[in-house]
Structure 1
């Protein structure tokens, strides 16, 4: 397994679109549009770092980190591992690489994932203010604010239009 940062915005967009397509296969148009808008936002050059785990026959998983800004922590925004690669240490390898890049790393996760992330070095925990998630950090310094990756309304509307056009095209040939 190879771990690498994806630097080229077009490569990042292609990768995140693939992740979006595989993670919501069979989902509604709205779910697919939301995932693709998020992929588009992650591809933006100012959106942080994308880390890829891959083997010769394809990608295994991806970790997306928020951008680094003065006075803010970097956050592990997303960790995704393809179904056939789960349980093989891919997610752990991606998180360890993220911690190497940014030692003061933060994340938000559901309480049932706390033990997993504790094994990987997240030692400081607190409750999130707006939901039931926990905020974890590798250090006390990691609990500072962060800059979230969020798709703009333009990203979202563009993706929805493209998906609607694709769905219509597919229906025209399915008769």
Structure 2
């Protein structure tokens, strides 16, 4: 009998730990709620744990490249920086592919024919960053992909042409 009483006491203690938050004195009605920016409303940023999470069983850097390329179309895979006064989007997959550098370039070039304008914008941005890898820059004389206006869908066609011209000059290195 004492074991049952102990079990009931433990269960009651665990169940009583959670409390319901009190209602606000002046709750905001949905009509008066502050409006969110369209991008924020459609694509909330990922949580910190998701930003640094990588799938298990990566065997090499190419696995990581494939993972981040698969995340380029995910509009939620974005973080912010710059504080509350000047928030700026941080495109996690594109930034990471740019950091990886030379290994990511051929797989990014393969995505230049995507029909998804958002993905193309990020592919171009990642290519620009990856083409600036120090070891690569040293071997190709500092010739990197110079985009006109970055991270702007309206400039995708122009930027794609610049990336393809760079690839025509240097793509033989990956063939």
TM-score by length of 2: 0.27
Q: Which has the higher contact order (CA 8 A, sep 6+)?
A: 1
* Structure showing greater Rg: 2
Pick the structure with more strand per residue: 1
TM-score by length of 1: 0.27
Pick the structure with more helix per residue: 2
